Amino acid sequence: MGHFSNQPLIEPLALLHGEAARQAVAQGLAHWFAGGPHAYALARLIGQGQEGTIVPVAALPPAWEEAARRVSAAVPDAGLPPGPQVMGIINVTPDSFSDGGQHDRVETALARIKALHAAGCRVVDIGGESTRPGAPAVPAEAEWGRIGPVIRAVRACSALDDLHLSIDTRQAAVMDQALAAGATLINDVSALTHDPAARAVVARHGCPVMLMHMRGTPATMRAHTTYGDVAVDVVRELGQRVEEAVAAGIARTRILVDPGIGFAKTLEGNLTLLARLPLLANLGCRVVLGTSRKRMIGELGHEPDAAARDPGTIAASLPGMVFPGVVLRVHNATAMIQAMRVRQGLDQQ
């Protein structure tokens, strides 16, 4: 592990927004969170033998001053449009857990992407390999055969010129071909650890990259769900992936981080992560949150049909709105955009 494994962390607590946040910051009772509009009045100290101590922000010990600066700072846009974004999901696979087989022809995939764009999506994530629990790996040639024609079709459509295309892949050869064909960013559920060549490809292209937290592989991750403190462990492990990416020549300002809801986590672990998302601000990167239609929502909402889990998806995604530039990755983008805009209005009050 690198230095991030032991540096002090701050968990922002007692979050405020709107006029209350502005007053509390002006009076020295709160610090801005990730550049605002939220602020936090209390901090849980993590590290340096202070595990779990809660202090007012005005009483932060000197060892946590650097962490406090990082948590308060606005994060880079990472090459994507500013402000909260909804990332639409399009799986050109026969076996994805929610929409497998629905968009595995170029015509249907392009029609779906045009609909997402019309709904307000400016980022769409295209996947050619299912990462559902237990999913088998797909050869790079087969994966590229699925997504390559879709990328070319999108880039041939002038009406979609402002659309950012994310490619959900773990394979360096697919990344390289996709970026050369006009993809904008890479979404790697293995955080560039699956393929030894992946970091070099991303560094060479200078593109944004989403690093997701996962242990094991989609086929084995259910055997890796034991943590000391799941929220702290995820932040520290993601921090290590960020450091490795930076060491490989990837600009920190191009990195987005995803806590990996549902990947090597139990139901309880997923709920803890969602309740403690502000810890991710210690990484200084834009946050991606993907809860869409996952097993957790089915268990809590008593809904066995993945396609019927959109209301629960909205509820599980809205905690991410504490981050002013959060990217919410969902299947039903139209519903999520409406919910996001309402939440933005409430946060201004």
Residues annotated as part of the active site = 294, 329
Residue 35: other Cβ atoms inside 10 A: 14
Residue carrying the six token digits 């929610």: 98
Q: How is residue 340 written in tokens? A: 């996001």
Segment holding 40, helix H or strand E: strand 39-46
d(CA 135, CA 119) in angstroms, rounded, equals 31
- The closest of 133, 130, 113 to 122, measured between CA atoms, is 113
Chain CA centroid to CA 1, Å: 22
Rounded (5°) CA angle 256-217-11: 40
- The closest of 338, 345, 324 to 73, measured between CA atoms, is 324
Q: For the chain, count helices (H), then strands (E).
A: 11, 12
Q: How far apart are the first and last CA of the chain?
A: 42
d(CA 201, CA 33) in angstroms, rounded, equals 33
